[in-house]
Structure 1
Amino acid sequence: MLPLARISSKDNKNKTKQLRIVPLFSTFLPPSTQTHFSLCRQLLQNEEMDNLIHYDSVPIPDEYRIHNPVQIRVFRELDELGDFDLSAVEKRWTEDYDYLLSRGYQLRPRFHPGWTPTWRGTNLSPVACEDSIVHYSESVIDAKRLQDGKIVAIKRIPPYTSETKIACMLSAPERLDDPMNHCVPVYDHFPDTRNPDGGSFIAMPLLRAFNEPPFAYVDEVVDFGLVYIHSQNVAHRDLSDGNIMMDGRVMYGKKGFHPSDQDMTAADVMILAKPKTRRDVGFVKYYFTDFGISSLFDDPSRPRVVVGNRAQDLEVPELSTVIPYDPFAVDVFTLGNVFKRHFLDVCTQLFSARADYKTDLV
Structure 2
Amino acid sequence: MPVNEPNARRDNLRGGEIWWRDHQAWFDECGYTLRSSRLMPGWVPSWVGKDVWPSDCEDYKLLPTDSIQDAIRKDDQKKVMLKLVDIVEYPNEVDITTFLSSKDLANAPENHCVPILEVLKPQDDQRHVILVMPLLRACLNPPFETVGEVVEFLRQIFEGIRFMHVHRVAHRDCHEPNILMNADDMYPGGFHAADPSMTPDWSGKAKHFSRTERPPKYYLIDFGISVRFSPDDSTPRTRVDAWGGDFDRPPEIEQVNAEYDPFPTDVYYMGNIIKHNFTEGSEPIEVKMKLGFDFLKALAADMTHADPLQRPTMDEVVTRYAEIRKALPWWKLRQRVVRCDEFFLARWYRDTKHIGRSLGYAIRRIPPLPTSDIIL
Distance across 2 between alignment mates of 1:349 and 1:116: 45
Which residue of structure 2 lines up, in the alignment, with residue 140 of structure 1?
Answer: 68
Matched, 1:214 2:143: yes
Kept in 1, the 8 Å contact 2:100–2:113? The answer is: yes
Which residue of structure 2 lines up, in the alignment, with residue 350 of structure 1?
Answer: 291
Question: Which residue among 281, 286, 311 is the counterpart of 2:218?
Answer: 286
Distance 1:299 1:204, change over 3 A: same
Distance 1:354 1:121, change over 3 A: closer
TM-score, normalising length: structure 2: 0.66
Distance across 2 between alignment mates of 1:287 and 1:349: 23
Distance across 2 between alignment mates of 1:190 and 1:348: 42
SS, match of residue 133 in structure 2: strand
Kept in 1, the 8 Å contact 2:167–2:231? The answer is: no
User: Residue 117 of structure 1: CA displacement?
Assistant: 4.0
Distance 1:114 1:332, change over 3 A: same
User: Residue 84 of structure 1: CA displacement?
Assistant: 9.0
Structure with the greater alpha carbon radius of gyration: 1
Question: Which residue among 201, 223, 241 is the counterpart of 1:267?
Answer: 201
Kept in 2, the 8 Å contact 1:107–1:143? The answer is: yes
Matched, 1:316 2:316: no
User: Residue 348 of structure 1: CA displacement?
Assistant: 6.6
Kept in 2, the 8 Å contact 1:84–1:132? The answer is: no
Partner amino acid for 2:218? Y
Matched, 1:230 2:159: no
Question: Which residue among 11, 14, 32 is the counterpart of 1:87?
Answer: 14
Distance across 2 between alignment mates of 1:313 and 1:122: 42
Which digits, 9 at most, give the CA deviation of each residue in 1:81-102, with x for residues without a partner?
x899222122232122122222
Distance across 2 between alignment mates of 1:354 and 1:296: 39
Question: Which residue among 325, 328, 331 is the counterpart of 2:263?
Answer: 328
Kept in 2, the 8 Å contact 1:90–1:135? The answer is: no
Kept in 1, the 8 Å contact 2:119–2:130? The answer is: yes
User: Residue 299 of structure 1: CA displacement?
Assistant: 5.9
Which residue of structure 2 lines up, in the alignment, with residue 307 of structure 1?
Answer: 239
Which residue of structure 1 lines up, in the alignment, with residue 228 of structure 2?
Answer: 296
Between stretches 113-122 and 134-143, larger displacement belongs to 113-122
Which residue of structure 2 lines up, in the alignment, with residue 98 of structure 1?
Answer: 25
Distance across 1 between alignment mates of 2:64 and 2:258: 36
Kept in 2, the 8 Å contact 1:213–1:275? The answer is: no
Distance 1:87 1:354, change over 3 A: closer
Percent same amino acid at aligned positions?
Answer: 34
Which residue of structure 2 lines up, in the alignment, with residue 253 of structure 1?
Answer: 188
Kept in 1, the 8 Å contact 2:71–2:80? The answer is: yes
Q: CA RMSD in A?
A: 2.9
Which residue of structure 2 lines up, in the alignment, with residue 202 of structure 1?
Answer: 131
Kept in 2, the 8 Å contact 1:151–1:206? The answer is: yes
User: Residue 333 of structure 1: CA displacement?
Assistant: 0.6
Which digits, 9 at most, give the CA deviation of each residue in 1:205-251, with x for residues without a partner?
11111111111101112121211111111001100111111112221
User: Residue 264 of structure 1: CA displacement?
Assistant: 1.1
Partner amino acid for 2:14? S
Between stretches 286-295 and 171-180, larger displacement belongs to 171-180
TM-score, normalising length: structure 1: 0.68
Number of matched residues? 272
Matched, 1:186 2:116: yes
Q: For structure 2, which runs of at least 5 residues remain unmatched after alignment? A: 1-8, 282-287, 295-337, 345-376
Question: Which residue among 86, 92, 100 is the counterpart of 1:162?
Answer: 92
Distance across 2 between alignment mates of 1:349 and 1:211: 13
Kept in 1, the 8 Å contact 2:87–2:93? The answer is: no
SS, match of residue 114 in structure 1: coil
Between stretches 115-124 and 234-243, larger displacement belongs to 115-124
Distance across 2 between alignment mates of 1:144 and 1:349: 38
Distance across 1 between alignment mates of 2:60 and 2:84: 23
Distance 1:312 1:120, change over 3 A: closer
User: Residue 300 of structure 1: CA displacement?
Assistant: 2.6
Distance 1:112 1:328, change over 3 A: same
Which digits, 9 at most, give the CA deviation of each residue in 1:321-361, with x for residues without a partner?
23211101000110110122223336974249999x9xxxx
Distance 1:85 1:299, change over 3 A: same
Distance across 2 between alignment mates of 1:268 and 1:354: 31
